[in-house]
């Protein structure tokens, strides 16, 4: 038998299958962008929501490995704890079954035959891509073309291996895998680890099944092994990460190993004792999808109540303890760049977190001139250093994000985010300036007049409200809050002119201390510029 004529088309078909899967996943990811944006909100809820989220994300990006790598990144960044990670990991195993059902649909939905549907799907996708001008049309085109290429790939693989049905040696390999559960599991794990995609590994198995080469018993053990092999990507990704992130990858491995052990015992009892004849029969593509789905759902249901024990076991093996998150560090990880939609939302969440730190500084800055409290002065200086570190880290990450192959709309979103980070950082600078003004008042042993103090508080209230509205506008993408920001900034501009004029009259009439008067004017400038930067943030929202 000429194996070259089998291997080359098979490898080409596999490449087409994986490429089609990636194109379709990218289109689905873009189309589901709005739902993906709610990711971080869902993660703050219970583990069950995490399971649903993991299934959804994996179904969209067509890779449980990629989902788990993102989880490792979230844990390493400190924005997800191990309990939340466990839920997403369990859900990822369920979501990865979607690809298998797409492939097997050629059996239970005859109209989806690759020979007829795939070329039509690719042609329709190309027409949509060439004629569609909106982003949504491009996403739909990617989904349809990817769908077609996926089917062409699986068809090519199935046709390539069809001659192997006549090879007794090749068929005996699968018979041996069926007789020896350990070898079957090892084969599934090895192939999946090499190509680093359980979806693609299942696709290969289905292409062999379509050619009538795979006994039922061998397929069951190989499927179980595939779930172990898919852990390799996350384990490799966790190298060089923090202990918590390594523990998340270890949790994934333990979850799949425990599930495999439990169901391997059940499979051995059934296929070797209860119904050995069934195990010798050839398996179909649909049966592979069904077995894959039952195994993953049953494992999740069975181990969900024991998930905390798996976390504890992973901690013991990984020698890790939960630690408090350092809020001065940027909670972003390069692993999340694998899925730009989620990475963008993660950046937004970090900017919002930084924005709330600036809001806290602004509230203290409103008081420090009048209390002249040393703890508040120190607090503002420390918070400014914290914001500087966050600003630098977020900016660096956003620049990496903008260098990826992302859509024009996403490029604009990153550009808006960079501007917002800059504005927030400048507001923090002005808060620190105000703390320095407080130090000046202490050194000079001077204070504002009652009238001057009242005027400053009025200005500070307006400018603080302006910033808080802008933060709300950015956090919720709320155009109404953005418009309120603009109104407050306009009010602050008029108030600054009015208060400056009144203050100069008081200075002329010797109604206030000159040195305190200088601090008064400098503070007016700082507050007015704070409102300017708040307006900049609001305008970024209005332009979106």
Residue 396 to residue 149: CA distance in whole angstroms: 37
Domain ranges (residues) in the chain:
4-162+169-318, 335-543
Hey, what are 454's tokens?
């009242």
Q: Tokens representing 58?
A: 């994996």
Class of domain 335-543: mainly alpha
List, as own/partner pairs, every contact residues 438-446 make where C-beta atoms lie below 8 angstroms and the sequence separation is at least 24, other chains included.
438/368, 438/369, 438/372, 438/376, 438/377, 439/377, 440/515, 440/519, 441/369, 441/372, 441/516, 441/519, 442/372, 444/515, 444/516, 446/513, 446/515, 446/516, 446/519
Write phi, then psi, for 282 (nearest 5 degrees): -75, 140
Where does residue 186 rank: exposed (0-12), middle (13-18), buried (19+ CB within 10 A)?
middle
Contact partners, residue 332, CB within 8 Å, separation at least 6: 77, 343, 346, 347, 350, 393, 394, 397
Task: HSE, CB side, 13 Å, CA atoms: give it for residue 48.
Answer: 2
Q: Alpha helix locations (H) across 32-166?
A: 33-36, 39-43, 47-61, 64-77, 82-95, 98-108, 114-131, 135-161
d(CA 502, CA 282): 92
**What residues does 215 pair with on adjacent strands?**
282
- Other Cβ atoms less than 10 A from the Cβ of 42: the count is 18
Q: Scan for tokens 């191990």, then name that residue.
A: 82
pLDDT for the residue 328? 65
**pLDDT, one tens digit for every residue, the chain (544 residues):** 566 777 888 888 888 878 887 787 777 766 665 555 555 556 546 778 888 888 887 887 767 777 787 788 778 766 678 888 898 889 988 988 887 787 777 666 555 555 667 788 888 888 888 887 777 787 788 888 887 887 788 778 777 877 776 677 766 777 677 778 888 898 888 888 877 777 778 888 888 888 788 888 888 999 999 889 888 878 877 776 678 788 888 999 999 999 999 999 988 888 777 777 777 788 888 889 899 999 999 999 999 999 999 999 988 887 765 554 556 678 888 877 877 877 888 899 899 999 999 999 999 999 998 999 999 999 999 999 999 999 999 999 999 998 888 878 888 889 999 999 999 999 999 999 999 999 998 988 888 888 888 999 999 999 999 999 999 999 988 999 999 999 999 999 999 999 989 888 887 777 777 888 888 899 999 999 999 999 999 999 998 6
Determine the 3-state secondary structure of 180 from DSSP: coil
Instruction: Tokens for 64, please give them.
Output: 């449980």
- Distance (Å, whole) CA 527 – CA 460: 6
């Amino acid at each position: 038998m000429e194996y070259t004529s089998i291997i080359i088309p098979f490898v080409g078909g596999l490449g087409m299958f994986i490429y089609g899967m990636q194109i379709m996943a990218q289109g689905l990811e873009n189309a589901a962008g709005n739902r993906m944006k709610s990711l971080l909100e869902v993660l703050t809820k219970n583990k069950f929501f995490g399971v649903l989220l993991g299934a959804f994300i994996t179904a969209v990006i067509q890779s449980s490995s990629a989902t788990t790598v993102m989880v490792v990144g979230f844990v390493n960044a400190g924005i997800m704890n191990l309990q939340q990670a466990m839920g997403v990991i369990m859900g990822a195993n369920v979501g990865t079954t979607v690809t298998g059902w797409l492939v097997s649909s050629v059996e239970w939905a005859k109209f989806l035959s690759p020979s007829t549907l795939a070329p039509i799907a690719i042609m329709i996708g190309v027409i949509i891509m060439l004629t569609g001008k909106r982003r949504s049309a491009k996403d739909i085109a990617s989904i349809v073309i990817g769908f077609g290429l996926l089917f062409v790939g699986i068809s090519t693989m199935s046709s390539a291996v069809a001659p192997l049905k006549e090879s007794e040696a090749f068929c005996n390999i699968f018979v041996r895998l069926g007789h020896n559960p350990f070898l079957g599991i090892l084969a599934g794990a090895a192939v999946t680890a090499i190509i680093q995609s359980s979806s693609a590994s299942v696709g290969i198995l289905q292409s062999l099944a379509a050619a009538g080469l795979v006994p039922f018993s061998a397929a069951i053990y190989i499927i179980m092994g595939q779930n172990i092999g898919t852990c390799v990507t996350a384990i490799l990704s966790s190298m060089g990460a923090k202990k918590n992130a390594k523990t998340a990858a270890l949790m994934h491995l333990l979850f799949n190993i425990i599930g495999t052990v439990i169901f391997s015992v059940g499979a051995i009892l059934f296929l070797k004792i209860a119904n050995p004849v069934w195990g010798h029969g050839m398996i179909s593509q649909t049966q592979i999808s069904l077995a894959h789905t039952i195994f993953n759902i049953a494992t999740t249901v069975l181990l969900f109540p024991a998930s905390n024990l798996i976390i504890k076991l992973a901690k013991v093996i990984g020698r890790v303890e939960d630690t408090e998150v350092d809020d001065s560090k940027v909670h972003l990880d390069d692993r999340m760049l694998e899925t730009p939609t989620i990475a963008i939302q993660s950046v937004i969440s970090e900017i919002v977190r930084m924005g709330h730190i600036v809001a806290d500084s602004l509230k203290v800055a409103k008081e420090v001139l009048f209390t002249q409290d040393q703890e508040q002065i120190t607090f503002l200086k420390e918070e400014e250093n914290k914001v500087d570190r966050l600003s630098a880290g977020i900016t660096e990450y956003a620049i990496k994000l903008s260098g990826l192959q992302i859509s024009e709309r996403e490029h604009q979103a990153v550009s808006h985010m960079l501007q917002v980070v800059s504005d927030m950082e400048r507001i923090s600078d002005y808060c620190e300036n105000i703390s320095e003004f407080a130090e000046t008042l202490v050194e000079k042993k001077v204070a504002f007049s009652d009238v001057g103090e009242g005027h400053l508080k009025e200005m500070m209230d307006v400018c603080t409200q302006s910033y808080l509205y802008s933060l709300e506008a950015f956090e919720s993408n709320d155009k109404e809050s953005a418009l309120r920001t603009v109104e407050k900034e306009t009010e602050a501009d008029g108030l600054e002119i009015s208060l400056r004029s009144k203050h100069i009259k008081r200075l002329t009439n010797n109604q206030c201390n000159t040195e305190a008067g200088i601090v008064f004017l400098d503070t007016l400038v700082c507050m007015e510029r704070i409102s300017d930067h708040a307006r900049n943030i609001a305008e970024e929202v209005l332009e979106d």
